[in-house]
Amino acid sequence: MKRKRIQVILIIFLFMLWTAITQTEAAVVTVNNSGDGNYSSIQEAINNSHDGDTVLVSPGVYRENIIVNRELTILSHPMLSGSQTNRTYIIGTVSDNAVFSISSDNVTLNGFHIAGDPFGKDMSQEVGLYLEGVRNCSLNNNTLILTDQGIVLKSSQDNHLDGNLVSLGNEGIVLDNSEENVLSNNWVVRNNQGISLNNSFNNNLVNNTAGSNGVGILLQMSQGNKLAYNLILKNEYGVLGQVAGSNILTNNNLYFNDIGVDLRGSSNNSFYENEFVNFLNAADEGNNIWNSSSTGNFWNDHTGADADGNGIIDNQYAINQITGAIDYMPLINRISSGSGSEALGANGYILLVLFEKKYPENSTGNREKGAVIETTELGQINKFLEEGPVFLKLGAEWCGACQSMKPILDELVSKYGDRATIMSININKNPQLATYFDVGYIPDSSMIVGIENGTYVYMQLDGNITTDRVRARIVGLEDKEVYEKVLENALTYEEKSKSK
């Protein structure tokens, strides 16, 4: 009996010891390449970490290819502190290896700037983030540029990609033989292919922006995916379907693409409540469905009567009569059909509707005197244009030149705030607006003096006006006198316009 009691006590002691050890296992490991952290290399920190640990990486440039084979949370210190004035760069040194290769489940990666090496011998094979055979990983708020493939998920399930920027590469985000993943709020711009789904099933793409790519979203031999509330803008092909089936696309905005949707060898895909404003809205070689049981899509090149006032045009919209690709319930043009307004065309529709439904207009009646107004919507810009010229700066918190421009903007407000509005857009928070204004380098400033035929009118430094923003934009940080000159030109133009 005594021996049995000792065994029980020993078991209890071992259990308590194990519990104490497991409770203290999770640790925070710091990385700083200046030598102030626990480690100077991210890979070294990972190699010495355990499942459940957090690796906190300080700002700096880390030149290494990283393998993550543990269940870790890997954070960029600026993301944790809320400061984006310093970046944490990861630049790969071996071009045919991924910069970050993740082979473990339950990995979180947040806030890194990952770049292909512009001096590398073979950039064409470089991958930014590569995940294979993993579940429940989260990739958030990362920036990937100059890589052959930005983010690749291969044979992976139940992962979340949110708020990532992928640009200036070949393929932005690639899902290969992957399912049940969620892509949300990502900004994929200026790649050959934006988001590619290859042999992938039941993924959700929600509120992403695919702009200025060769192909915005590619569905290739993929089925059961849902695309909703995405902005697909200024691509050669907005959505390209190749042998794709049973996908659902709803509430997407497809604007200014050469071809909005092109379906090749694809069938049973459903489209409803999308907005199409493109040079060619849709091409369908297969047997696809272009309306739900109650509503279809908006087509900017389709007009007609709505006799019963239910918001649906009475005559159908034919995409391909031969294959029977028809929207039987096309939606009315909310702008051109209301209150005797003129038909505005694609540009006008974009300007007045593009973001207003996503970004409800803020109250503009209580503008604080002497303050720069940060806007998230075109509607607010349009409202202030009724009062006078609008000076608009596009930038980001992590941009040093943008931060240096802040005191200049404050001085401009102090000098011109009673006659003009000084506004700014944070492109990280508002990628749709950055895509609309075709931002490539920041800070990017322009002087808006009006709206003409649904397009903004800009003031140039030489005193002439133009609807071509490229000719009027002021790129980079300039002396205050440059901005004052364009503001003086705008105010002179306004006075002359009023006197006519």
- Asked if 350 contacts 454 with a C-beta cutoff of 8 angstroms, the reply is yes
Q: Where are the beta strands (DSSP E) in 177-320?
A: 182-184, 187-189, 193-198, 204-206, 209-211, 215-220, 226-228, 231-233, 237-242, 248-250, 253-255, 259-264, 267-272, 275-277, 280-284, 287-289, 298-299, 317-320
pLDDT at 366: 42
Q: From the CB of residue 480, how many other CB atoms can be counted at a distance below 10 Å?
A: 14
Task: Specify the DSSP element, H or E, that contains 129.
Answer: strand 127-132
- Catalogue all structural domains in the chain, each as residue range(s) with its CATH number: 27-327 (2.160.20.10), 373-499 (3.40.30.10)
- Residue 97's alpha-carbon distances to 45, 75, 123, in angstroms, are 19, 22, 10
Q: How confident is the model at residue 14 (pLDDT cuts 50, 70, 90)?
A: low
Show the CA angle centred on residue 173, arms to residues 170 and 64, nearest 5°.
Answer: 75
Q: How confident is the model at residue 364 (pLDDT cuts 50, 70, 90)?
A: very low
pLDDT at 27: 92
pLDDT for 85 beyond 70: no
What's the rounded mean pLDDT across residues 418-425?
Answer: 92
- The two tokens of residue 435 are 């895509």
pLDDT at 79: 54
Q: What angle do the packed helices 480-499 and 400-416 form, to 10 degrees? A: 40
The whole-chain average pLDDT of the chain stands at 84
pLDDT at 306: 86
pLDDT at 357: 39
- Asked if 252 contacts 229 with a C-beta cutoff of 8 angstroms, the reply is yes
pLDDT at 83: 47
Q: How confident is the model at residue 2 (pLDDT cuts 50, 70, 90)?
A: low
Question: If you search the block for the tokens 């493109």, which residue do you land on?
Answer: 278
Q: Whose CA is closest to 53, among 113, 108, 135? A: 108
pTM of the predicted model as reported, rounded to 2 decimal places: 0.72
pLDDT at 106: 97
- Asked if 449 contacts 377 with a C-beta cutoff of 8 angstroms, the reply is no
User: Rounded to the nearest 5°, which phi and psi values hold at 201?
Assistant: -135, 145
Burial 401-426 (b: 16+ CB within 10 A, else e): ebbebeebbeebbeebbeebbbbbbb
CA distance 326 to 323: 9
Q: Whose CA is closest to 30, among 6, 48, 7? A: 48
Q: How confident is the model at residue 476 (pLDDT cuts 50, 70, 90)?
A: confident
Q: From the CB of residue 367, how many other CB atoms can be counted at a distance below 10 Å?
A: 13
What's the rounded mean pLDDT across residues 125-144?
Answer: 93
- Asked if 57 contacts 31 with a C-beta cutoff of 8 angstroms, the reply is yes
Q: How confident is the model at residue 465 (pLDDT cuts 50, 70, 90)?
A: very high
pLDDT at 344: 38
Say if residue 16 is exposed, middle or buried (CB neighbours under 10 Å; 0-12, 13-18, 19+). Answer: exposed
pLDDT for 44 beyond 70: yes
User: Rounded to the nearest 5°, which phi and psi values hold at 99?
Assistant: -65, -50
pLDDT at 499: 76
Q: Which residues contact 270 (CB under 8 A, 6 or more apart)?
A: 247, 248, 249, 250, 288, 289, 292
pLDDT at 13: 55
pLDDT at 477: 87
DSSP state letters, 373-420 = EE---HHHHHHHHTTS-EEEEEE-TT-HHHHHHHHHHHHHHHHHTTTS
- Residue 402's alpha-carbon distances to 304, 409, 484, in angstroms, are 48, 10, 17
Residue 470, Cα to own-chain centre: how many angstroms? 22
pLDDT at 235: 94
Q: How confident is the model at residue 3 (pLDDT cuts 50, 70, 90)?
A: low
pLDDT at 394: 92
What's the rounded mean pLDDT across residues 9-18?
Answer: 53
CA distance 452 to 401: 32
pLDDT at 87: 80
- Asked if 29 contacts 46 with a C-beta cutoff of 8 angstroms, the reply is no
Count the alpha carbons within 13 Å of 195 in the hemisphere toward its beta carbon: 31
Portion of the chain with pLDDT greater than 90, in percent: 58
389-408 residue pLDDT tens? 999 999 877 677 888 899 99
351-363 residue pLDDT tens? 444 444 343 334 3
pLDDT at 147: 87
pLDDT at 348: 44
- Residue 300's alpha-carbon distances to 216, 259, 336, in angstroms, are 20, 13, 10
